[in-house]
Amino acid sequence: MEAVPPRARVYVACVVLGALCCLLPLPNPRASWWAVLLLAVLYGVCERVGARWRFAGTFYPVLLAGAFLLSPPAAALVALPGALLSPVEQRPRLLRRLWRSAQLVVAVWAAARVHRALGGRDAVDAADFPYALAPAGAAVLTFCLVLTVLDGGILAFAEKVPARRAWRGLFVRSLPPGVVHGLAGLMMAVLWRSRYGPVAALLVLLPMCVSWWVFAQYHRERTAHQATIRALVQAVDIKDGYTRGHSERVGQASMMIARELGMDEGRVEVLRFAGILHDVGKLGVPTRLLRKDGPLTAEERRVIELHPEYGHEMVRGISFLGEARAAVLHHHERLDGSGYPYGLAGAQIPESARVVAVADAFDAMTSTRAYRRARPVAVALEELERCAGAQFDPVMVRALVGALRRYGWHPAVTADGVPSPCPAPPHSPPSSRAGGHPNSVGRRAP
Amino acid sequence: MTSSPRPKRPKHPACPPPPLLLVLVHTAAALLAAAALLATLRTGLDERGTALAFGLLVTVGELARWTGAQVREAAPLAAAGALSYALLGADAGEPSRHGAAQVIAVVVGAALLGAVPHIARGQRGLLDHLARRVLTVGFAAVCFQPLHLQGTFSRWGGPAQALLLLALLALTALCDAVLAAALAHSRTRWPFGPLLRDELRALLGIGSAVCATGAVMALAVAVAGLWALPVFCLPLLLTQLSFRRYAAVRATYRQTIASLARATEIAGYTPAGHARRVAALGQAVGRDLGLSEPELTVLEYAALMHDIGQLSLVDPVPAGATAGLPAQEQRRIALLGGAVVRQTGVNAQVAMVVERQADPWPEQPVAARVVRAVNAYEEKARDAGPGGPLKALEELRLATAEEYAPEVVEALARVLSRDCLTLPAAG
């Protein structure tokens, strides 16, 4: 998003214009201004606090409660201050803020309109219960639909994602949170209108806030966990001087092969960890041996060849790694059975290990080592194809060739140990909603 | 869910009889439940539909009780449902007439029903859980229902009633925290103060969500009838799911750290199981010293990784015993370890503790004092035979001038004598 294409700007301008039209028939003076004010402040505070906890998500219950309680323009007004003032991290900030506010205003307005048209207002006033769910459900559907359509549009215009891919899955993923937030919003609206008043309505937000906070904690813990695994690998890289960044790149190549083979996202992630951790057993090999210049004796070679078993010993207690543990143990097996540690052959070798073996060899050839210069990617691939069948699984080699042809080879960490300047932030539409684009992480166009 | 490697107190052959407090709490809960059941049996159930709906909610909540991971409130849905039934004053605008006895009876019945599969699986701690549930719900119901039946609140405005519910729930939550801390104290004999502090801190998290949901459900049922129940369970269910995922990722994280700690063992720098033993004993000492839950986590991670600096040594220290090295060398290894830990992105406090584990004790944070003393004890007592533990403790006591903090050594001695971790005397 360094330079926003002009057509994206035009698109944003159109949506902003639409939002202004939604707000223009200003709420009639008798409308409860204090309710608008209270909800707007509430929404603004929620957005702020959410940003403080660095959790990119939006707090819809307040907006939806507004849509269930107020007239459409007033409900749309609730979203405005919070969205305009919410902190934005990526540039261009002003454009993103405008976009986000306009998008929310239009969505809330449409939801309120639908809710009112279906007679939801009276149902909320009378707490008429099974019936009140119908207009609220329709309003939530409208809300999610409008957000999806607008988000898909900006993806198509700004990121040049093909329109169909941009919309795929976006709506389905926005529904579950929408439903939960919608129910909370409905309860807020019903309690607000009841004899217990806004005090009771505010209580609804507390469980939602706690849930939100726990979710943020979960993400933080997960990030810390991944950093720890990286550090484990860095320890190996420090020990084994010339392979800096090797583990990370093998992880990336393994991930590309797994994607090309059409594995599901969970397995792709596990294979990335398999690639990253494949040499972790080198921690157990004396540093003197790893750094030795010149040829190794047979005895020394045997010690180094213990590293897959050391690595397996180390990671076998980490349950989430799953089949990655087998990959750590067997990544030096060869298809003809002449590898180590167990001399497995053909299909006896776990699939994950066959993936990592190809990725490992590929990176070993294309990066500079102390004793030789890096070979070009094309030469390395030729070499891999030559050894396919005897040493490597031809399926994996073909997958790597296919993936490289399509996306090119852009390792995030180069052999010089300098991370490339842009560590691939997930493309996200200018709105800061969680998720970004489904296929964007780690798949950068050439 | 994976089981967390918290140190479980070893079962001592001569287990003392259950403490008086425990017996007292269980008896009180049983008496209350029996009285409520009898009273309800005599008068019959009022408003059966409502009773059934809330009973169902509590049963389902208990069935979905968390197992495995250590959490404060194992069944938030059941807790919120029971509390809201205790505070229910009306149903779709009609004032309700069920009394406190019926509330307790319904909750007890539903909780017992929901506990059946857990009992069948032979889980521990269920009795405490049930006793707590009965007593807290009884407290809330006895505070609210008699006054409500007399019509004391009918003249109050709506918002005032909402605030009253909230105040009552806050009071109930406080009682529950005290009860939970007391039960944990009498079971584990860890000091009461820190346990209570941890319970109170947890109130801010899931505790407040449970209370708010209980109040909102009671109010919502009063306005909209029983339809409010399913609508309202959903956000809490979401909270429960988030908590579960959080617990899962924490367990995974702990596994990763423990594996990272084993790197030194596999590399042959330290004997097998050393880091794990230091972590377990260190946590027991930390508890005795009254550290809070987050501090104990820092201590555990630091203890697991305290030897990681040795990975940077080209040649291993004999048997990995750093306690015998010159102070300068010890400090160098500690700094190297701190550098490695800093890279792992674990809480920065962990790195600080690892870094300063070899400093003289007056300059150390508490966790680093514990790591240093426990590590030295472990290394000295490891292969020293039957008299080893006592001799090691004696050596630690003699070095309290500079190396080991006296209060930590005393806490270590208390933990060792209490938990019988010392080897049995020969002969």
**pLDDT, tens digit, for every residue of A175-228?**
877 888 888 888 888 888 888 888 888 888 887 777 777 777 777 777 777 777
Answer whether residue A355 shows pLDDT above 60.
yes
Report in angstroms the alpha-carbon separations of A27 from A51, A71, A74, A75, A109. 30, 7, 6, 9, 12
Q: How far is B259 from chain A (nearest CA, A)?
A: 6
Choose between B384 and A119: higher pLDDT: A119
CA angle, A282 as apex, A311 and A297 as ends, to 5°? Answer: 125
Q: Do A200 and B159 touch (CB under 8 A)?
A: yes
Q: Do B262 and A314 touch (CB under 8 A)?
A: yes
Out of B215, B224, B344, the one facing A227 most closely (by C-beta) is: B344
Report pLDDT for B38: 92
Out of B92, B216, B256, the one facing A200 most closely (by C-beta) is: B216
In order, the DSSP letters of B188-240 are H---HHHHHHHHHHHIIIIIHHHHHHHHHHHHHHHHHGGGHHHHHHHHHHHHH
Out of A211, A284, A287, the one facing B242 most closely (by C-beta) is: A211
Cβ neighbours of residue A18 under 8 Å, at least 6 residues apart?
Answer: A102, A106
Over residues A10-23, the pLDDT tens digits come to: 888 888 888 888 88
Report pLDDT for A329: 93
Backbone angles phi, psi at B80, to 5 degrees: -65, -40
Q: How far is B342 from chain A (nearest CA, A)?
A: 9
Average pLDDT over residues A134-159: 87
Average pLDDT over residues A15-33: 76
- Short-list B358, B312, B368, CA closest to B337: B312
Q: Which of A64-78, A251-265, B109-123 has the highest mean pLDDT?
A: A251-265
- Given its phi and psi angles, is residue B189 left (phi above 0), alpha (psi -120 to 50 degrees) or beta? left
Answer whether residue A353 shows pLDDT above 90.
yes
Q: Do A129 and B257 touch (CB under 8 A)?
A: no
Report in angstroms the alpha-carbon separations of B292 from A285, B197, B206. 39, 8, 18
Instruction: Provide, as residue numbers in chain A, all residues whose Cβ is less than 8 Å from the Cβ of B81.
Output: none
Report pLDDT for A431: 36
Residue B427, judged by CB atoms within 10 A of its CB (0-12, 13-18, 19+), counts as: exposed
Report pLDDT for A416: 42
pTM summary value: 0.71
Q: Do B268 and A281 touch (CB under 8 A)?
A: no
Instruction: Provide, as residue numbers in chain B, all residues whose Cβ is less than 8 Å from the Cβ of A218.
Output: 242, 245-246, 249
Average pLDDT over residues A24-29: 66
- Short-list A399, A207, A430, CA closest to B232: A207
Q: How far is B237 from chain A (nearest CA, A)?
A: 9
User: Which secondary structure element, helix H or strand E, spans residue A124, and what is its range?
Assistant: helix A120-126
Q: Do B209 and A224 touch (CB under 8 A)?
A: no
Q: How far is B402 from chain A (nearest CA, A)?
A: 33
Report pLDDT for A360: 92
Q: How would residue A330 be classed by pLDDT, with cut points 50, 70 and 90?
A: very high
Map tokens 């017992």 to a residue.
B112
| Summary mean pLDDT of chain A | 80
pLDDT < 70 regions, chain B: 1-18, 66-73, 314-316, 318-320, 344-345, 419-427
Report in angstroms the alpha-carbon separations of B402 from A27, B272, B326, B358, B397. 74, 29, 14, 11, 11
Q: Please give the Cα distance from A375 to A366 (Å, whole number).
A: 5
Other C-beta atoms closer than 10 Å to the C-beta of B383 total: 10
Alpha helices for A295-350 (secondary structure H): 298-304, 307-315, 324-330
Report pLDDT for B68: 52
Q: Please give the Cα distance from A226 to B79 (Å, whole number).
A: 35
Q: How far is B273 from chain A (nearest CA, A)?
A: 13
| Domain ranges across chain A | 6-219, 245-407
Q: Please give the Cα distance from A426 to A359 (Å, whole number).
A: 24
Q: Do B260 and A187 touch (CB under 8 A)?
A: no
Radius of gyration (Cα) for chain A, nearest Å? 28
Q: Do A283 and B266 touch (CB under 8 A)?
A: yes
Q: Which residues pair with A372 in a beta bridge?
A: A369
Q: Do B235 and A180 touch (CB under 8 A)?
A: yes
Instruction: Provide, as residue numbers in chain B, all residues whose Cβ is less than 8 Å from the Cβ of A213.
Output: 205
Distance from the Cα of residue A91 to its chain's centroid: 19
Q: Do B239 and A229 touch (CB under 8 A)?
A: no
Instruction: Provide, as residue numbers in chain B, all residues whose Cβ is less than 8 Å from the Cβ of A187.
Output: 216, 220, 228, 231-232
Reduced to 3 states (helix: H, G, I; strand: E, B; else coil), residue B425 is coil
Cβ neighbours of residue B165 under 8 Å, at least 6 residues apart?
Answer: B87, B144, B215, B218, B219
Q: Do B262 and A228 touch (CB under 8 A)?
A: no
Instruction: Provide, as residue numbers in chain A, all residues whose Cβ is less than 8 Å from the Cβ of B220.
Output: 187, 190-191
Residue B341 token pair: 């830990």
Pair B404, B376: CB distance under 8 Å: yes
ipTM over 0.90: no
Answer whether residue A358 shows pLDDT above 90.
yes
Distance from the Cα of residue A160 to its chain's centroid: 19
Average pLDDT over residues A46-67: 74
Q: Which residues pair with A142 in a beta bridge?
A: none
Q: How far is B173 from chain A (nearest CA, A)?
A: 15
Q: How far is B344 from chain A (nearest CA, A)?
A: 4
Report pLDDT for A277: 87
Q: Please give the Cα distance from A107 to A325 (Å, whole number).
A: 47
Out of A214, A225, A284, the one facing B256 most closely (by C-beta) is: A225
Give the residue from B241, B249, B250, B314 with the most A CB atoms within 10 Å of its CB, the best one to mutate. B249
Q: How would residue A443 be classed by pLDDT, with cut points 50, 70 and 90?
A: very low
Q: Please give the Cα distance from B424 to B69 (Å, whole number).
A: 33
Q: Do B249 and A127 touch (CB under 8 A)?
A: no
Instruction: Provide, as residue numbers in chain A, all residues whose Cβ is less than 8 Å from the Cβ of B312.
Output: 238
CA angle, A129 as apex, A124 and A134 as ends, to 5°? Answer: 75
Q: Do B253 and A228 touch (CB under 8 A)?
A: yes
Report pLDDT for A352: 93
Query: Which CATH architecture describes the domain A245-407?
Result: Orthogonal Bundle (1.10)
Q: How far is B324 from chain A (nearest CA, A)?
A: 23
Q: Please give the Cα distance from B32 to B265 (Å, whole number).
A: 54
Q: How would residue A332 be classed by pLDDT, with cut points 50, 70 and 90?
A: very high
Report pLDDT for B118: 82
Give the residue from B73, B87, B155, B239 with the most A CB atoms within 10 Å of its CB, the best one to mutate. B239
Residue B318 token pair: 């004999």
Please give the interface size between A and B, counted as residue pairs whose CB atoms are below 8 Å apart: 179
Q: Please give the Cα distance from A355 to A344 (Å, whole number).
A: 15
Instruction: Provide, as residue numbers in chain B, all residues whose Cβ is less than 8 Å from the Cβ of A194.
Output: 158, 219, 223
Q: Do A222 and B249 touch (CB under 8 A)?
A: yes
Out of B215, B231, B259, the one facing A187 most closely (by C-beta) is: B231
Instruction: Provide, as residue numbers in chain B, all residues whose Cβ is less than 8 Å from the Cβ of A200.
Output: 158-159, 162, 215-216, 219
